[in-house]
Amino acid sequence: MDVILTKDVEKIGLRGDVVSVARGYARNFLFPRKLAEEATPARVAELHKRETNRARHEAKTADQAQSIADTLTKTVLRFEVKAGPTGSLFGSVTPTDIADEIWRTRKIRVDRRKIGIDNIKRIGNHVVPIDLFEGVRVELKTLVAPEGGEMPSDEELAAMEAAERAEQEAAAPAPAAAVEYEYVEETERAISPADAATAGDEPAAAEQDAGAGEPDWRADAEAALRDE
């Protein structure tokens, strides 16, 4: 079904886009979170009219684009967003957020699709490339600071990012070799003396008889681990 996005949705589209999604995705995810609304003919016509009006404020020539670029070069956008202890944002700063802030602070209309970044998800100093016109690009300085706090130094930002990487690595699954070794140990423990006695021999004899004429899978596993 067709829906109108009311907010930027990563990998789906930007606010105001009319996109086609699965009905279940719309009803179970987008609508309950107020990320989209149904694309009725009246709402789509209203959006097209609004986009046409906005386009009138965008650069129409290279000279106009260069004038806008000169202004944006001297501009530093600032966003204050809730962030965790390692600097990751609880939300994100989207291309639409940047376009809206440029309009609010400079009254310059920029097409969101010409803002060359994905969503910003960490605090810090960011450079946002914007293609204003063919052959005219500006790099806009953008500061994303933690809500209600001061901007950390570059050294502190680097330490926070390193701490987040360490957390992610610690939470990563164990290597395949370690998992195999754990499986071998669990298998050995599962063969109890009682199991061996049931076969009519002492544990050591049972293991020897069981392995007679067959590959020593335990030795093979240990050798494979040593080779890695």
* Helix H or strand E encompassing 142: strand 136-146
Triad 101, 103, 106: Cα angle to 5°: 100
Tokens standing for 145?
Answer: 């600071």
Long-range contacts of 164-170 (CB under 8 A, 24+ apart): 164/86, 164/87, 164/88, 167/86
Residue 44 has what pLDDT? 92
Q: How many other CB atoms are there within 10 angstroms of residue 86's CB atom?
A: 17
User: Could you give the dihedral angle defined by the CA atoms of residues 133, 139, 140 and 146, in that order, rounded to the nearest 10 degrees?
Assistant: 140
Residue 73 has what pLDDT? 95
Q: Which residue has the tokens 């009138």?
A: 56
The rounded distance, in Å, linking the Cα atoms of 91 and 122 is 9
Residue 56 has what pLDDT? 76
Residue 14 has what pLDDT? 87
pLDDT tens string, the chain, 228 residues long: the values are: 999 999 889 889 888 899 999 999 999 999 999 999 999 999 999 988 888 877 777 888 999 999 999 999 999 999 999 999 889 999 899 999 999 999 999 989 898 889 998 899 999 999 999 999 989 999 999 999 998 878 888 888 888 888 888 888 888 776 655 555 555 455 555 555 555 444 444 444 444 444 444 445 555 545 554 554
